[in-house]
Amino acid sequence: MRSHDRYISPFQTRYASEEMQYIFSEDNKFKTWRRLWIALARAEQRQGLPITDQQIAELEAHRDEINYEVAEAREKEVRHDVMSHVYAYGVQCPAAKGIIHLGATSCYVGDNTDIIVIRQALTAVRRKLLNVIALLADFAEKYREMPALAYTHLQPAQLTTVGKRATLWLNELMMDLEEVDHRIGSLALLGSKGTTGTQASFVELLDGDDARIKAIEDDIAAEMGFEKVVPVSGQTYSRKVDAMVLNALAGIAQSAMKFANDLRILQNFKEMEEPFEAHQIGSSAMPYKRNPMRSERICALARYLMVDVLNPAFTAGTQWFERTLDDSANKRIAVAEGFLAADAILNIMLNVCDGLVVYPKVVRARVLNELPFMATENIMMQAVKKGGDRQELHERLRRHSIAAGKVVKEEGGRNDLIERVLADPAFQLSEAEVTELLKPEDFIGRAPRQVEEFLDGVVRPVLAANRELLGERAELSV
């Protein structure tokens, strides 16, 4: 039953997926601790320490049976989470309790688990990011040739296409994917470095045998699925890792906010729209409203995530010497919630991109309303070919454009520039000739080909290499 008499994080009830919530759950953490203790025991056994197969088998048998009640009762007594779980594991494994955590410090399980959890979370983020990219790639392909107004300074400029604009969103997401891949590839376990990073306890256990000490780390990394451990450390892995990872997530937030803000403006223009369900209510006061609540939520969560990067950045900068503990309370909130926010943002983007609505007639009407201004140079060149004076025609077009703009802005009328040009004998142009100059498709440059080149050369190869991860969709909780 959900409790209604205390604070519950909205990430839990409204935003983040069950998958991401489990990745940062206590259950996942403590089961990973036990996997690390087993890996340590196995590695130490290989290097000749007196650890038996029966002890390891006992640890394996209870690996996923966390006796939380015992651990929680013990922590109230000793005020130490790691030693409480060492004790609880030992209660279940009496024959092996003496070799659990042998030679290790708390960060052996704490920090190694954090890196493992970060990799799990980045892998989930990567999968969802790929699926958003796949949906937008299909959208860009579908609308690659549909002319649309392009904007600079949020003022109508030249034309683009609906699909070409989607490639701008896609390109930034591809940059984010590259950064996420880099971060995953850069992750390394802390390994078994000891209290201040010198491995002094392992020097004692293994009689100073460097090769055997290094072999323990290599074996632990291999068992946990890592190719490397950090080359040097204090007690912890460098907190810059958390800062770098959160920056990658914040990059996704930046791209998502750009997409969502563009869509909110386009929805105001009535050119495009996010999905709106049959029974969805847009406003409690205005029944006709179709508010872009999904895009607004993306923007809200993106702001949170972009600001959250300051937490690990300050944490990294304020670590003293081999470590201090002022990282822990901040880190366990900032890193987890950074991932929960990124997960929520991508869930919403999956939902939105799976149901983007385009209104072609509105898009074209807005194009045609602005196109006469954009076509003035073409009109002038055609009139010059008929013997007109370029300078005189330029001045006439300037005056006609100002007058037409006044009708639109001051009188609320429609753009009548073309009628003014047709009525001016200096241009010597027929309605058919001017109409021929006003085809939106002639003003989109290489946009359709740019879409095809970008999708074929950049996006599709990545999607093809990850096809087994595609096909994911997302439903919103609220």
Active site residues: 153, 283
Match 């006796």 to its residue by tokens: 67
DSSP for residue 282: S
Q: Give me the residues paired with residue 151 across strands.
A: 156
Strand partners, 149: 159
| 3-state SS assignment for residue 390 | helix
Q: Please say whether the beta carbons of 248 and 201 come within 8 A.
A: no
Q: In whole angstroms, give the CA distance from residue 219 to residue 206.
A: 15
Can you say how many angstroms the Cα of residue 243 is from the centroid of all Cα atoms in its chain?
15
CA 474 – CA 478 distance, rounded (Å): 12
Length of the chain counted residue by residue: 478
* Bridge partner list, 273: 357
- Greatest Cα pair distance in the chain: 104
For 194: left if phi > 0, alpha if psi spans -120 to 50, otherwise beta; the answer is left
Residue 64 phi/psi, 5-degree rounding, is -105, 10
User: Contact at 8 Å (CB) between 441 and 145?
Assistant: yes
On the CB side of 323, how many CA atoms lie within 13 Å of its CA?
20
Compute the half-sphere exposure of residue 267: CA atoms within 13 Å on the CB side of its CA: 21
